[in-house]
Amino acid sequence: MPDQALQAALTERYDALSTSLRDRVIGFVLSAFDSLGSYRDADAAAFIERVLPVVLGAQQQMGAITDAYLSAMIADMLGGASAPAGVALDEALRGTPPDEVYRRPFATAWTALSEDKPYTQAVAEGRNRLLSITETDLQLARTHAARETMTRRGARFFRRRLSGSKSCALCVIASTQRYRVEKLMPIHPGCHCKPEPLPDGRDPGQIIDEELLKEAHAAVAKGTGASDRGGRAPDYRKIIVTREHGEYGPLLAVRRHEHTGPKDVPGS
């Protein structure tokens, strides 16, 4: 049986390390963007030269601490050595060169200016896109490392563990389901969920947190007027879907939303 006290301590430590890393990197990236004198091509080039090595290093660090956390968790569940073996993360986790990705906030600002938006608004829109990009890249480092570690250590199933004081409805509902390790954890921009292996290697069934699913249903019912004590109306499997995004990979989405596929992401 897993040692609950040990697993709680491991989770607490991992949460502290990953949150601290994310906050420090985001703070650095946004501060670098805010300190630019202007947002022309030369400023974009200087920004990328300064920021990109830090971001790429942080992605590797996120992979390393995720590997260490999951290795210890799975060793406690299934036995074996707890020492991490290390993970190899591609710098281009999206399949797109990182320097192209981190130029996009500037393109957002330039587009806003071309639409006659005020300068401060244009810069704010670029900054918001930068925040989303940085958060997503750190989350991709987490999920890619998790898949590699759990596969190597023989885990078969995992759950999405909610992280932080607030979680969106997509993540709350998705956290009530079990996932297969061979499938990369679906995310969405701003997602902070973490993968957590399920013990014993046995399939627990699709729904692993009936009470939370009922609570999520009750919240939906309160807002929509729909009601079902069984927690199955509306059918969340028809609302929350996993789609393949051209860069993120599996993406949590509401069924009616449009999204980009692998062929829809431009090469530049």
Query: Within a domain: residue 263?
Result: no
| Predicted confidence (pLDDT) at residue 4 exceeds the cutoff of 50 | yes
Query: Within a domain: residue 266?
Result: no
Query: Within a domain: residue 19?
Result: yes
Please report, rounded to a whole number, the percentage of residues in the chain having pLDDT higher than 90: 39
Query: Within a domain: residue 90?
Result: yes
Pick from 65, 82, 64: nearest CA to 73:
82
Residue 158, phi then psi, degrees to nearest 5: -145, 165
Query: Within a domain: residue 176?
Result: yes
Instruction: For residue 59, count other CB atoms closer than 10 A to its CB.
Output: 24
Looking at residue 45, its pLDDT comes to: 97
Query: Within a domain: residue 262?
Result: no
Mean pLDDT of 242-268: 47
- pLDDT, averaged across the chain: 79
CA distance 73 to 77: 6
Query: Within a domain: residue 125?
Result: yes
Tokens 């704010």 belong to residue: 124
| pTM for the structure as a whole | 0.75
| Predicted confidence (pLDDT) at residue 262 exceeds the cutoff of 50 | no
Domains contained in the chain, number: 1
More confidently predicted of 52 and 242: 52
DSSP, collapsed to helix, strand or coil, labels residue 207 as strand
Do the beta carbons of residue 187 and residue 139 sit within 8 Å?
Answer: yes
Query: Within a domain: residue 123?
Result: yes
> 184-227: per-residue pLDDT in tens?
665 566 667 788 888 766 677 777 677 777 776 666 566 555 54
> 122-161: per-residue pLDDT in tens?
999 999 999 999 998 998 899 889 888 988 888 888 887 8
CA distances for 13 relative to 8, 17, 210, angstroms: 9, 6, 27
Give the domain range for residue 22. 4-254
Pick from 264, 230, 84, 63: nearest CA to 146:
63
| Predicted confidence (pLDDT) at residue 62 exceeds the cutoff of 90 | yes
